[in-house]
Amino acid sequence: MVTSSILFGAVVVGISYPHTAYPGFLTAFAAAQMLPQMFLVFQAARPISD
């Protein structure tokens, strides 16, 4: 869900600003790769409350 929205945003930015399309896509792709890992780290770092 989040990954698809990030990639969709990268496509929109790429259409709007063609000269930044390639770096923008790489940034969005890197963010999409990082987000699941960051989520797992966040889940692991949370104190168990229940």
Among all chains, which residue has been given the structure tokens 């930044």?
20
Check residue 32 and give its pLDDT.
79
Check residue 14 and give its pLDDT.
62
Check residue 1 and give its pLDDT.
58
Which tens digit of pLDDT belongs to each residue from 15-46? 666 565 567 677 777 777 877 787 777 777 77
Q: How far apart are CA 46 and CA 9, in angstroms?
A: 29
CA 46 to chain centre: 21
Can you read off the two tokens belonging to residue 12? 């929109």
Check residue 36 and give its pLDDT.
78
SS3 38: helix
DSSP 8-state secondary structure symbol assigned to residue 46: S
Q: What is the pTM of this model?
A: 0.32
